[in-house]
Every structure is written in C-alpha cells, then in structure tokens.
Structure 1
Amino acid sequence: MGIKSLYTRIVLTFIGVIVVSLVIASIASTLLFRDTFTHKLENSLLSNGKQIIQTYRSSVGTELVSFMNNVSSISIYAIQLFDASGKPLLEEGTEPVVPGMERIRHVLAGSEARGIENEGRYPMVGLPFEVNGKSYALFVMLKNNEMWMQSNKEVNTEMLTVFLVGSILILAAARFIVKPLLRLRDAAGRMAKGQFDVQIRTNRQDEIGQLNASFNEMALELAQLDRMRREFVANVSHEIQSPLTSISGFAKAMKQKRMSEESRMYYLTIIEEESDRLSRLSHNLLRLSSLQHDRHPVQPVAFRLDEQLRKVVIALELQWSGKEIEVELDLEPVTVQADEDQLSQVWTNLLGNAIKFTPVGGKVHIRAYLDGHSAVVRITDNGIGIPEDQRTDIFKPFHKVDKARDRAVSGNGLGLSIVKQILDKHEGEIRVDGEAGGGSIFTVRLPLRKDL
C-alpha cells in the first residue's frame, strides 16, 4: 500500500497530528509549569539544607567536613561546602556542585541564593551559616536531578502511551473510514466495465452512508439509461429494418417481367409509403436529438393560442374528415409567450395521435382556457385509450401502446417524446388520463410568462 493510498495518508496525517499535539503540549506544559515546579523544588532544597545545618549543630563534637561528607554520601542531595575564601571543602561526588564565585560570595555575605546556573543542572540553592565564628556557604542540589528526571520520565511514559494507543486507534478508525470507500472504488470499477447492477449495502447514516446511497441511486439510473439505450437501438433497428425489408421485397417483385399494371402500381404505392415512413422516422429522430441537445433554443413570441389550435385543426382536416371524426372546439381567447413553431408541433402531434387512435365516426374535443397563471389545453378522444400502467412510459422514445406494431396504425413512437421535450423547454406540464377502451385525455399546462 503506497503513500498515495487514502488509508496511508489518513494514518500518517493522524499520527502527525498526534506527534505535533504532544510536542506542543510538552512545550506548553514546560513553559507554564516550570517556574512553579522550580520554586517548589528550591523551597524543598532550602528546607533540607537548613535541616542538615540544624542536625550538624545538634551533633556536639562532630567535625564539620566529615559530617558534610557523610551526609552527601548517604542522602539524595549533592552538597558542597565553601569556606570564607571560597575554597570547596568536601570531596567531589559524581554530581559536582560548582556555583559561580559571585554566588559563593553572595552566600558568604549572609544571603540565601536561588536560581543558580549550574551547567544546565536544575536547580541549586545556597545557604549561609557560621561555625565557631567562621562563615561557610552550603550549596545543595539533587543528585542526578532525581525528582526532576522522575517527573520527566513519568510525563514521557504517559506521552508515549498516548502516542501508541492513539496510533492503534487511528489504524482501526482509518480502516473503518476507508473500507466503504474501497467498496465504492471497486463498485465504480465494475460499473465502468458496464456492470450497472451494482448495489452497495450499508446501514450508515453519515456522509459515507449518504455517498453510498447516492452511488446506488446513480447505479440504478445508469442501469435504466443503459436499458433505454439498448431498447432505443433495438427500436431504431426495428423501425428502419421493417420498411427497408418491404422496399427491398417489393422492388425485387417488380423485376418480374410478367406483372399486371395494377400489381405494379400496388407495389410502387407500398414502396412510396415505406419510403415516407423512413423519411418521417429520420426527421423525428433529428428533431428529437436537436431538442435534447438544445440545438434550437426557445424563441418566445406573443401569439394567440386559440388561433394556433384552429390552424392545426384545419391543417389536419383531411385526416379527421377521412375517418368521419367530429372535432369540437371550445377555445377561450388565450395569449401566450412561447416558441410558436415548437408549440405548433405539440398540437399537431397530440391531435394527430387522437385522430389516429379514434375509430371511424368518433369524436375529438379540444378545449383551451386560462387557469390562474397558466394556459391549459385539453384534448379528449373516445379512442382505444391508454392503460394506466403505461401512462408514464408513453413519453419515452419508440414506446407504443400497440405492442404488435400494427402497420394499420402508422407511427414510430417518437411523437410524444418530442411533445415532452418541447414542453419541458417551456417549463410546461403534460398529463394523460382516461381508461383503456374509454378514450384518452391529454392535458397540457403552460405558464403565462413574458420571457423564457
């Protein structure tokens, strides 16, 4: 596992934080408590020095230098005795007591001394006293700085314990953090290879749990998009292959020399119809792609919606009159701000579908009215209707209610997809109601806005 891995970086970062924190804490504690500790230790040294002097004075007939050497050898204190000339009188131990001459003179003059620099040893005190009229200076310090070193040892042990325990906990915590991310990485790798059925199970409610949930949602959406892509390719292939097969078959049939003129015209009519079907498919695919990629942005203008609907009805007269369909109009004067050409395509597709799926002698009703801040257009027919379980799918490309794709009903399943794309660009809504076998009701709602 290299330094580039997230696990290693997290561990090193946390260990670095612990080390820096311990160093800062050590420096801060030293700065904050050193003076207090030094003062208490000096008081202890002064008290013990006075006790040594008092013990000597209570020992009648004891020689001074011999007594002080004995005390130095058996106590935890390193001591040195200086006479009035500043000459050391005691044997040098493993911890030599070497105060400066100015300090020695200061003590011999009768004053106590604190805060004595002693080659980094810490700390030392000096006490004056007299014996038989002679002045002496007694300097006391800890051997090997035992109390100080013991205190430092305890502090260092605690810091080392904190570091080791913290490092172990960090290793476990980092693995706990990184493990779900590694699962996400592996899942993303499988998804990159086209396996969109990846789902990560987790009970976590934190940010990583939310990331897992978002990943699962993304995987479902990508799986759906992949399924739609496959269906789209299959549908396009079917829609193209079907007319091409017809054209190829009837073109080969026309090569026969013995064929009546009536049969020839019939075959030519079929070839023409299938060619028109291919042309419409190509046109709709290009239009749908253009809308999806926003190649033709909305160009809003103000126009009368009711007048536009009348023009569309007139343009499709040959279709509804050929099936003897009764078209009823209930149009209130409504002015909208929208792309006129794109909305005309919406009404053409919706009315065309209503006519297509309404039986001969049926009825289509078109109503337009204002509802608050929206313009509403409702197209009702008494045709074959749309099953409720398919109403959310009819706006997908190539979706057809007639699964058998009966050639008697022309169309390639792109009309409603184009309608949905146009209405989305206009921030509009479309809803379908009705019952299978009882007709359909398409309701379009457009916001009344001055700009888009």
Structure 2
Amino acid sequence: MATQLLWRLTITNIIIISLFILLSGVAVYQSACFLVDRITDVGTARQLSFNSTLFQYLWIFSFIAIVAGSLIHYFMMKRMMQPITELTQSMKRLKDGTYPAVLETNSKDEIGQLVEHYNELIILLRENEQNRNKMLTDMAHELRTPLSNINGYLEGLSKGVIEGSPELYQSLHLEAKRITNMMQQLHQVKEWDSLGEQSFPKREMVDIKELAANCVNLFEWELSNQQIDVVCQLDESRLFIHREGIQQVLTNLLQNAIHYYQGKGAIHITGERLETEYKLSVSGPGSFISEENQAAIFERFYRIEVSRSRETGGSGLGLAISKEIIEQHNGTLQLRTDGYHHTFHFKLPLPKRM
C-alpha cells in the first residue's frame, strides 16, 4: 500500500516537474532567439546555429533536471513514508492476531503523532487482552471449586455412596448460591464498565445520612449476632448521585468490615462535608493487610485470604465494583490502614449552588 502510494506520488511529481521545466525551457528558448534575432550584425547562418545549439542544451539540461529532481523526490518521499510502511506492516500483524512491537519515531509532525497514537492503541489493546485473559482464568478458578464440590456430592448421592441430610443439602445450596452471587456481581461489573464516560440516567438528590442509615439497617441482625457495634457520624447533606450505586458501595464496604472483623472496637461510618466535596469513610479493625495486598485489593477476583473468603462467600468482586462506581462519580476509592485497622474512604462532589 505504502509502495504504491510512493510510486503514485513520484509519477505525479515527474509529470509536474517535466511540465514546469519544459514550459520554462520553451520560454527561455523563445526569449533567447528573439533577443539574438534583434541583433543586426548576426547573420542568418549564425542565428540558425545558435538556435540549434541552444535547443540541444535546453533538452540536455531539462532531462538532467527532471531525472535529478525525480530521484531526489523519490528518496525523500521514501524516507518520509518509512513510518507509514512500518505502520502498515504492524497493522497486518495485528490483523493476524499478534500484538506487534511499539514503533519508534522521532518525528513530531502529523505522521509522528499518528505513530504515537497507534503505539498507545497497541499498548491499550495488549493490556485489555491481558486483563481479559486474567479475568477468564480467575473465573474458571473461582467456579471450579464449587462446581467440583456440587458434582462430587451429587455423584455420591446418585450412586448411593453417601446419604442425604439437611446439612448436606444446605451446603450444596450455599455452594450454588455462591455461584449465583458471583454471576450477579460479574453482571454488575459489566454494567458499570459499559457506562464509561456516560452520565447516570438515574442520578437524583439523595440524603446521604438517610442512605447510610438504611445500609446499616440491612446488617442489623448480623451485627447483633456477632455483637459488633456500629457508630455513624455523618454531617447533614444532600448529594446528586446514583442512589443504587452509592448504596451498593456502602453495603460492600460495611459487609467487608463485618465479615473480616477481628479485634475490638466499633465499626465507624463517618461523613464529612468539605468545601466542595463530601467525604465518606468506613473503618474498623480487621485481618492483617500487607503492603503488597493493599496495592492489589481493588483488582477483580483478588482476595487476601482465599480460604476465609470462601467461608464468608466472598468472590473478590465487591471492591472492584465499588471502585468502578466511585470512578463513575469522578472520585477515587482509597484504603488507609496500619495493617490491622482499615479505613476505606471516597469523596463525592457537592451539588453546585445556583
């Protein structure tokens, strides 16, 4: 493709240069012949000889100029179009299903910018492919254990190796419920991903204090059984938010604080009205989180304690979903911890005054 374009540009250039030089040569020839003809002491023979010699030289010089100009133009264009040639070959490799190496460019012109944008696209596609493969691998790993348990017990029941009991059926029900919850969470992740830069169609003015109180009420029975106190200290404020989304974030954070609760002390839910933002945080004592785990805790399917997460029904998607929701509100979900006492906090913009 690039070679064909190069030859088309070269042929076009040859035609333009040839026309320009030939027209210029004819003009010079006619002007010189006219001036010589005006000289009175020049005879007819000398006039004809001058015209013939000038015509020959003009043809020679015109031919040299056309060839030299065409060659110079060809090699200059070939050098300028080298990035396009490499770009074309790279796209062919991408089309064949392999991710090509990043192209080098030192140019800052339009072609250089095109190559830079293409390199960014390649990097983004490669990262998306890696994330997709990782997610598929994690999904297969997460589904393998409960499905194997269910299949093993059902096979044992069908062959009469083991006898059914309420406890066994309850365990199978919990395993099936965990798979269902995981599928629902994956669907939620997909929904929040698909929103991208779009604004929420269901944003509304919400009393954040009332919303937090509703989230706490959902865990009243569980908190009572585990004898965990919850302290809510929230400033009064109404925020323009996606109600279900922020409620899901608070629910996920509070659920994690309860399920991974270790030590003494209450779980604190605080809300602070700042100058232009409202800061929400959920904090409490919990199992140890190392610095390495802190950096990866918001990744999908990431769990600090796999065995404990399976006991509590965790899938490693709650914080990933919460992170997506907060980012759609132009905020960031962060963790502050000393290792054993954890605080998850995020900020939401206050509605602008009219």
Partner of 1:428: 331
Partner of 1:13: 9
Report deviation, 1:238.
2.1
- Partner residue of 1:43 out of 34, 38, 43: 38
What does 1:7-406 align with in structure 2 at a 5 Å threshold?
7-27=3-23, 30-31=26-27, 34-35=30-31, 37-38=32-33, 40-44=35-39, 46-48=40-42, 77-78=43-44, 142-143=46-47, 145-196=48-99, 198-207=100-109, 208-254=111-157, 264-294=165-195, 297-359=200-262, 361-402=264-305, 406=309
Report deviation, 1:210.
4.0
Deviations 1:158-201 (A, max 9, x none): 222122122222332333234333333333333333323x3145
Structure 2 alignment gaps of length 5 or more: none
SS at match of 1:345: helix
SS at match of 2:205: strand
More displaced, 17-26 or 329-338?
A: 17-26
Aligned in 2, Cα 1:193/1:424: closer, same or farther, shift over 3 Å?
Answer: same
Report deviation, 1:368.
0.8
Alignment of 1:441 with 2:335, yes or no, is no
Partner of 1:113: none
User: Which of 1 and 2 has greater Rg?
Assistant: 1
* Contact 1:397/1:417, CA 8 A, preserved across alignment: yes
Aligned in 2, Cα 1:296/1:449: closer, same or farther, shift over 3 Å?
Answer: closer
Amino acid at match of 1:316: F
SS at match of 1:154: helix
Amino acid at match of 1:186: Q
Aligned in 2, Cα 1:448/1:155: closer, same or farther, shift over 3 Å?
Answer: farther
Aligned in 2, Cα 1:266/1:302: closer, same or farther, shift over 3 Å?
Answer: same
* Contact 2:150/2:175, CA 8 A, preserved across alignment: yes
Report deviation, 1:441.
2.1
More displaced, 279-288 or 263-272?
A: 263-272
Structure 1 alignment gaps of length 5 or more: 49-76, 79-140
Report deviation, 1:390.
4.3
Aligned in 2, Cα 1:264/1:399: closer, same or farther, shift over 3 Å?
Answer: same
SS at match of 1:174: helix
Amino acid at match of 1:205: S
Aligned in 2, Cα 1:32/1:319: closer, same or farther, shift over 3 Å?
Answer: farther
Report deviation, 1:413.
1.4
Report deviation, 1:407.
2.4
Question: Normalising by the residue count of structure 1, what TM-score does the alignment of the two structures yield?
Answer: 0.68
More displaced, 347-356 or 316-325?
A: 316-325
- Work out the CA distance in 1 between the residues paired with 2:92 and 2:308: 39
Structure having greater relative contact order (Cα 8 Å, sep ≥ 6): 2
Aligned in 2, Cα 1:22/1:259: closer, same or farther, shift over 3 Å?
Answer: closer
Aligned in 2, Cα 1:9/1:258: closer, same or farther, shift over 3 Å?
Answer: closer
- Work out the CA distance in 2 between the residues paired with 1:271 and 1:312: 29
- Work out the CA distance in 2 between the residues paired with 1:164 and 1:257: 93
Deviations 1:191-244 (A, max 9, x none): 333323x31452523344444443333333222222211121122222222222
More displaced, 342-351 or 21-30?
A: 21-30
Aligned in 2, Cα 1:27/1:170: closer, same or farther, shift over 3 Å?
Answer: closer
TM-align CA RMSD: 3.1
Amino acid at match of 1:268: Y
- Work out the CA distance in 2 between the residues paired with 1:387 and 1:32: 86
Report deviation, 1:394.
3.1
Partner of 2:320: 417
Amino acid at match of 2:186: L
- Work out the CA distance in 1 between the residues paired with 2:317 and 2:194: 16
Report deviation, 1:302.
0.8
* Contact 1:254/1:267, CA 8 A, preserved across alignment: no
Report deviation, 1:335.
0.6
* Contact 2:17/2:69, CA 8 A, preserved across alignment: no
Aligned in 2, Cα 1:157/1:370: closer, same or farther, shift over 3 Å?
Answer: farther
Report deviation, 1:374.
1.5
Report deviation, 1:26.
4.1
- Work out the CA distance in 1 between the residues paired with 2:92 and 2:300: 30
* Contact 2:249/2:322, CA 8 A, preserved across alignment: yes
